[in-house]
Every structure is written in C-alpha cells, then in structure tokens.
Amino acid sequence: MCELADAAIGTAHSTIIGIDESFTSLDLNARFLRPAWSGKLFADAHCTHAGRTISQYICEITRDDGKPIATVTSAVLTLRGEAARGR
C-alpha cells in the first residue's frame, strides 16, 4: 500500500512541477485502518500545501467496496537546476 500511495503522490506532484524540474520524497507516513485481502485498491492523492520547495500530500487508499483502508501523508522536495538534471 505504501508503494501505491507513493506512486499516486508522485503522479499528483508531477502535474504541478515545471518541465525542467524533478522531485523526490522526503518522508512517507502510513496509517492502516482495516485489511484488504482481495479486490482492487484505489488511491486518491492531493496536495495539502504547495510550497516553493517542499509540498505536503495526503493519499487515501480505499477498497473496491469504498471503505478506507489507509491514509498516507508525504512531504515531497522539488528539485531545480543542477539538482534536477538526470533525475
């Protein structure tokens, strides 16, 4: 579930950065609410604070029956200039 949330958060962040910018996760915190033994999982990530360098995200993961199974928060660092090259 953490990989799913990280991918959803990364996808969300990639929509707000410039073409010459890149990013990396600074942290990721997961709170698990209930199990998911089978079926599809859905991840919905959105930015709660868009800073110039560090942005905050939350991702809600739900089961295919709509019940929440995890809430994941993450800080994302935007890289610019030389730090973004090749990443």
Using alpha carbons, list the distances in angstroms from residue 30 to 7, 74, 81.
14, 9, 31
pLDDT number for residue 84: 82
* pLDDT (tens digit per residue) in 7-63: 999 999 999 999 899 999 999 999 999 999 999 999 999 999 999 999 999 999 999
* pLDDT (tens digit per residue) in 54-69: 999 999 999 999 999 9
Q: In CATH, what number does 2-84 get?
A: 3.10.129.10
pLDDT number for residue 17: 93
Rounded to an integer, what is the distance from CA 8 to the centroid of its chain?
5
| 42/7 Cα distance (integer angstroms) | 12
